[in-house]
Each structure stands twice: as structure tokens, then as C-alpha cells.
Structure 1
């Protein structure tokens, strides 16, 4: 294994913890935050910062079949006519937003996630993008991405997506091994993925991502090594490597996975170690958390230049900007607020039919929340803290305010994860692989181990 981080440290920090796509994390959202609070945030933004670009996330929940590992908000159906009604509700949601927000805001990032966005027909996807363009201004040079199930697209569909304005694709692969694919109910031949990625390159997509998961049933270090070798041969621009979190009490599809078929903790650790070796040995840059990128990819360039950002979709090259979440269960961020839509299609549609935005919970951030968010995001994105910049931005004495946290960081410094300097904190090469654990030091809401069970494990 790469000795960037010793096995004993990996084992020590193999604990549940947040992914910090936001701080505070979404489990802290409250129902006391209502549509009225969200509208107030929209109107404040309209009055003060319309020049700043927006990011849009659109959740398409439909899938034709269930993948047993999935923890996403999805609706399993083969009735494609349900998409037409959903598009009408998405249109209504945008219209209601515009009533308080105004038309024509610049958007530099659009992401379609799910579920399976390519469940929609070509005409429906075209209709959706046209609707977004009617209400927003999609800026040249922006990132316009869509998650793709390889089983739902052909080269012709990829060409249509490119003509619609998408310039980035993310293929859900998870594992190339046939036994693993069968165990998780997602069978897709490797040849199909290779053909689609080759086609996407010919068509001109700027960046192609592949999602992988380690810790799935039937996986072994040997079988996953074969998948990694195939991925290196495929050579996507980006790779997202996720640890499978087996939480059958929370996610019903996971109950179809036999726990006895899951790899042991030792084998799971071996797969992570081998992944770091294999991908970095093949020339990929470890961007952070679960993300790898080729040195020429915009994500790797942003890391080198200290321009990484993080939002609800993970690492991003786009400036730290407000995010409008559209669709069932979608999460948004406007100013110092977070909000989330209704999680079921019935409630989502019912609220919109009443002429109401489908906000059901959220959070107005306190001064302490904003301070800790700045600290955590600096660690997660830049791998360092500059005390002076935090102090000037939030009018605190860093060492006094975070005296308890700095004591914990001293231990992490002894473990080789951080360097404590007079003017700040620097994450080491080893620490970058465990940056979630370092960020957790500043999370005021994590009080006891029992409260962390809601999160996936770091390893």
C-alpha cells in the first residue's frame, strides 16, 4: 500500500462521521424553518447579491430497477408517464421561486442527479433544460453535468445530451465484477461502459467521471483489484471512490443484501489501500475525500491553485455560491440558510398544487455556525487554516475561541496528520486522506459517539 498513511491510523479513524457537504450537516435541519424563511432569504439575495452566480441542482428520483446498495431518494417505476407530471411540478417550483427572486439570474453550474436523470426521455430532458434557460442565464464556461446510468444511454443519446448543453458526465459503475453486480442488482457489462466513455470523448464532453464503491457484497481485494485495473485502462477524467455504508435499518433496499456476503473490515481496508496505490500509481491526483482526478482535469488544477470549493454535490471548481435545489428532497443554500424540499412525491406535488414552495425543513445559520463552516471548509478544500483570515472575517481570537479544539489537534499533530504553526494549521499528506476526521474536531454538534451512528464510516 501507499505509505502516505499507515494502516494503524486508517483503523484508528475508521469511525462514523459527516461528509461535510455542508456545515451544519443536513441531519441538523429543523421543521421550524419554513417556506416563509426561505422566501425571506430569496428576497434578501435579490436585494443584495444578484450579481453573484448561482448553482442549480435538479433531483430526478425515478429508476426502472432498484440497486440494493442505494441510499438515495428514489422512486422505482417502469411507468415513464410519471415523468411528465414531475416536469410540470418542477416548472411550477421554478415559477414560484422566480416570483420572489426575479428572472435571469446567472447560473455557472447545473447538476442533474437522482435517481436516474436519464430515466427521462430525450424530449423531456430537452424540455427541462429549455425551461431552466427561460428562467436563468446559463453562463458560457459553466459546468453542466448529468448523472448517467450506462444501461439507459446510447451514443446517440450522449450526442443529444451534448447538444442540450451538458459538458460533463458521471457514469455509475460501482464495480465491474459480474458476481458483485449480480449481488447488488445492477448488471452492466464493462464493455458497455468502455464503449460509452469512448463515445463521450469523441463527442467532446469536457470531463467524464466514474463512480466506484468498495465494501459491496461478494467483493474481495482480488476482485476489486481487477476493477481498479479496468478503471485505469478506461482512464476517466475523474473518479469518485465511495465506501459502502450498510445501514439496512435506514435504507430498505439494503435489506436485500446478505450481511454475510459483505467483505470483512480487514478486506475493506485492504481495498481502500489498494485503491490509493492503484489510482495514484496510474497518475491520478488525490483531490480529497473520495475524489481523484487526472492532473489536467479542472478539479486537480483547482486543488493545486487553492480554488477548491465544496457543496452538496461534493468538491467543485465553482466559486462558493448560493445553490437552488429543485425537485423532491432537493437541498438548497441561500445566504446563511439551508433548506430542503419534501421527501415524497405526494407531499412535494401537493404543496406545489397549493401554490406553495415545497420547503419542509431547513436551518438559519448562527454566527457560530458560519464561523465553524468557514473553518471546516478551509480544512476540507484548502487543507489549511490561516488564523488571521478567520479572525478578521469573524472578529474572534482564534486560539481563545477554539482552545479545546487546538488541544485535540495537538494529538493529531503527534499522529502526523497536521502541522501546528504560529499562524495556522496545515494538513499533512497523510492527514489529507483523513481530512473528515480533522474537520470533525471543529464540529460543535458531534458530542458523543452514539450520535455519529447516523453517518457513514470515514473508511
Structure 2
């Protein structure tokens, strides 16, 4: 990739796990009543045909990783597990009380924080409590995020027995210097151990999360990390761009200097070399920052144009309704978004008052729904069209704003469609930004997002 293209297009931009993006939610017109209406509407439309997804946020970590942008609570006191699970199950019961009929669960994902902070017995109590009030959809998929340092064989076996078949291990980078800087020290031995355990137990999709652009990270570090990863042959992996946003994340990203972080073409080279090494091993690039072997369901979904993207990232199956349980979780009814209270204290207080603990959200307009579909198409399939109900008034203006990208051969445009070229793949977020009407109409006065490259 040329330096001039990186310099031209490397600007702050959203990652588009939603549209509108969270900073552009209209909180002033949002109400819990409206949210419940969209929730019930979506449930009625989709529960019987496809089921619903649950994202359960487990926020506790024993130490702070400085690359992390998730909402978490740092503690070594494991007595926090019981009251938190009680709270999540109460929240689930509040939702079940307004379902028109019994929910059918298609997906459960345990995220964090560190889900394996919780004991296997407490995770069993959580999942059994959820499933006690639900049926399972055909082809359901349960997944969780595991920390290689504290995921035990008992964790893996217990969750497997409960129906989990996919696990994602956070690796990031194997360089001791990088690990020290991001406060995530874990050995290759630990990662190999939990990967082999998962495979022996019977997990059908094992994923590793890697990050490029970390402080002090060199090309040699990325090559070494990819080579070690290849030796373990995870079924899929994420190769994320490090989001250096200390003005948002506070002290967590102040343990190193800005000049310690790779930028621009130096950073992009880390990704391009990593991608080439993964391709040699048979990994196929999927969407943005994701790779999978041909045998993995994510690859099958991508080839069949069924790839989906939501607040959990890319998914091999789609549900119209996703409920977020736990502190800070975000729910998506397709017609609206709602986020839970961000602090444990506020989350517990709302539940003590028998309230669904939503504190902000956004109800999508008809225009939002059209733009959301375009951005989802671009993020998942690298193309979109407006020939069948996806025309919008500002389309000509959007296409005009993309003339420079067309000239640079990053996109192809016909009378009814737009396609991102192979050369344009690194700039998918930039293309989406052209369609982002809320961003176009109200440019932020301060930097809200990480850089796109």
C-alpha cells in the first residue's frame, strides 16, 4: 500500500459495529417505553423463525490490560461473583416477563472483562438460569472469551457440557516487551495448553485474538506471533488494529508515550505482513480484521453472503434481536439500541427497583435503517446496492464524495451499486464514513474515534 494513500485516508473513524454509532445516538428522544416497543416488535417478528442472541457482560478482571477499551472492574475479590450472577439473572427475568412468548435462543456469548474470572460452578449457575426460561433454536451457537492465564480445563469442560462449542483466547502479542507495556504477560505455553485442552474436549471453533500496532511492537514481533499462532492452528482469528485513544480510556493508556506506538505506514505494514503469513497457512481474510480456515463456520458464512456484524463483532449467523445482559451491555432490536448502566452501583440500583437497567439508547428512523443496511453490507460483504428499496435522498451527494476513492481505484461504482476493490479493503471504514449521514451532518469538534488505518 502506498504511503500517499495511507496519509490521505488515515483519519479518525468509527469501527461500525452499529449505525448510528454510539456518539450519534439521539438520547433526547429516547425512552425506555419506546425501546420496549421496538424490542417486543422485533421479538414477535423473529423469535420463532430465527431465535434471539444474548450477550452477557462479565466485567471483572484481576488486573488491568492497557490496550483494553471494555468496561471492567478490577478486583481480586471473587465474592463479587454471586451477587453479579444474581443481578444478571434478575435482568433476564425482567425481559422474560415482557416477551410475548417463550424465547428461543440462537446465540449466547460471554464477554468481558474476563469471563473466566468466574468459577466453573458459577458459570454453570448463570447458564442454567438463562436456559431455564428458554428453548434452544436449531443450530444454536454458544461462545465465550477465555484468558489463557486463568482458563482451566474445568472451565472448558463445564462450558462444553453446557453447550459451548466456540472459545476465543486473547493472545495480543508474544513479545515480552510488548506484553509488559500492555500489562498482559502470558506465555506461549499457557496459550498452547488451553488451545490443546479445548481441542481435546471437542470445541469445534477455537479463535485467537491478536493486535497489531501495540506499543513497542516491531515487524519481528508480529512475524514471531503469527508463526507461533500458526503452529497452534486456531480455526479463526481476529487481527485487530490497536485503538490508541488515551483521551477516552484515561490512565490505562498512559503507561507509555505516543511515540512508542507504531503509526501510519509503519503500523499498516505490520498488518500486511501478518496477512501474507496467514494466507500462506490457508487463512482467508473475512470482512475487516478477521481470518478463518475454510473449515470454519465464519468462512462458510462469508462465502454464502450470510456474514453478520453487531456489537459482538462478526458472526456466522444472524438474529434480528440481540439482548445485552450485565453492566454496560448494549442491546439491539434492529429498530433501536439501548445500553445498560455503566457502573455496577447504578446497575444494581436499577435492578433493585425492578427496572430494566437501560440508561441511554437510540430509536432508528426510516433513513437510519436504510443507511444501517448499506454500512452492514459494506462491512460484511464489501459491496452494497440501492436497486431494491435502499435508495435514499442524499445518495448522489454520498457518491460524489467518493470520487477521490474511485479515482484511487479503491472502489467501483455502477448505476445501482458500489463495490470495494481488493486495493480498497484497508479503507472499508472510510467508505462507510461517506454513507454515515449523521457523521457527515455533524462533524465532531474533538476526536471521538481511533484512526482508520
TM-score scaled by structure 1? Answer: 0.93
Q: Which residue of 2 aligns with 1:255?
A: 254
Stretches of 4+ aligned residues off by more than 6 angstroms: none
Distance in structure 2 (CA, Å) of the matches to 1:102 and 1:136: 13
Distance in structure 1 (CA, Å) of the matches to 2:153 and 2:319: 34
Change (3 A) 1:148 1:221: same
Mapping for residues 333-348 of structure 1, pairs under 5 Å? 333-348=332-347
Displacement of 1:327: 0.4
Partner of 2:108, secondary structure, is strand
Change (3 A) 1:279 1:452: farther
Q: Is the 8 A contact 2:7 2:264 kept in 1?
A: no
Change (3 A) 1:50 1:200: closer
Q: Which residue of 1 aligns with 2:348?
A: 349
Q: Which residue of 2 aligns with 1:156?
A: 154
- 1:433 equivalent to 2:431? Answer no
Q: Mean Cα displacement is larger for which, 418-427 or 108-117? A: 418-427
Mapping for residues 3-402 of structure 1, pairs under 5 Å? 5-32=1-28, 33-52=30-49, 53-102=51-100, 104-252=102-250, 253-391=252-390, 396=391, 401-402=394-395
Displacement of 1:171: 0.2
- 1:404 equivalent to 2:368? Answer no
Distance in structure 2 (CA, Å) of the matches to 1:303 and 1:309: 9
Q: Is the 8 A contact 1:288 1:433 kept in 2?
A: no
Displacement of 1:292: 0.9
TM-score scaled by structure 2? Answer: 0.94
Change (3 A) 1:92 1:431: same
CA RMSD of aligned residues (A): 1.8
Match of residue 444, structure 1, among 417, 437, 441: 437
Q: Is the 8 A contact 1:103 1:136 kept in 2?
A: no
Q: Which residue of 2 aligns with 1:416?
A: 409
Distance in structure 2 (CA, Å) of the matches to 1:103 and 1:118: 32
Distance in structure 2 (CA, Å) of the matches to 1:159 and 1:205: 10
Displacement of 1:103: 5.1
- 5+ residue gaps in structure 2? none
Change (3 A) 1:187 1:159: same
Partner of 2:354, secondary structure, is coil
Number of residue-to-residue matches in the alignment: 449
Displacement of 1:86: 0.6
Q: Mean Cα displacement is larger for which, 444-453 or 73-82? A: 444-453
Change (3 A) 1:235 1:6: farther
Change (3 A) 1:225 1:449: farther
Distance in structure 2 (CA, Å) of the matches to 1:387 and 1:102: 34
Distance in structure 2 (CA, Å) of the matches to 1:202 and 1:442: 46
